[in-house]
Amino acid sequence: MNGKEPDVREIIETDSAPSAVGPYSQAVVAGGFLFASGQIPIDPASGELLVGALRFQTAQVLRNLQAVCAAAGASLSDAVKITIYVRDMDNFQEINDTYATFFPVDPPARATVQVSRIPKDAGIEMDAIVALPSTDR
């Protein structure tokens, strides 16, 4: 051994998803998995928070997560666990209807949690754990 520790994690950043709104990475790769930080419905092109119907916000969040996955050489369909944070559980069905279009078969494990507040006062946030396709990572 040369005394140098091997890198056990790789930081993932992409311009195709919104920049982090705090001191964290968009995602980290470790142990064959991608750990994607929470995404809120920010349009990466404009940097603006999408407001309005939760179905549109949900779709933007999932597109943002897809972009982070793609930057790591994976796809959202490789997700093994997604956590949804929502301000109002009364929107559960609207979220589910949109979510289902992104996972038409074999959806990942999931938890949905109602929270009192989300960064930038968004209506929804999601994070993901994604199994990476076989690579040298």
Which pLDDT tens digit goes with each residue over 87-137?
Answer: 999 999 999 999 999 999 999 999 999 999 999 999 999 999 999 987 554
Q: What is the CATH architecture assignment of 10-131?
A: 2-Layer Sandwich (3.30)
Which residue, 56, 48, 104, 115, is CA-closest to 76? 104
Q: Is the pLDDT of residue 61 over 60?
A: yes
- To the nearest whole number, what is the mean pLDDT of the chain? 93
E strands within 1-119? Answer: 10-12, 27-30, 33-39, 79-86, 109-114
**Which residues fall within 8 angstroms of residue 25, CB to CB, at 6 or more apart?**
11, 12, 13, 37
E strands within the chain? Answer: 10-12, 27-30, 33-39, 79-86, 109-114, 124-131
CB 118 within 8 A of CB 124: yes
Residue 43 is predicted with a pLDDT of: 96
Q: Is the pLDDT of residue 1 over 60?
A: no
Residue 21 is predicted with a pLDDT of: 84
In the chain, DSSP finds a helix count (H) and a strand count (E) of 2, 6
Q: What is the pTM of this model?
A: 0.91
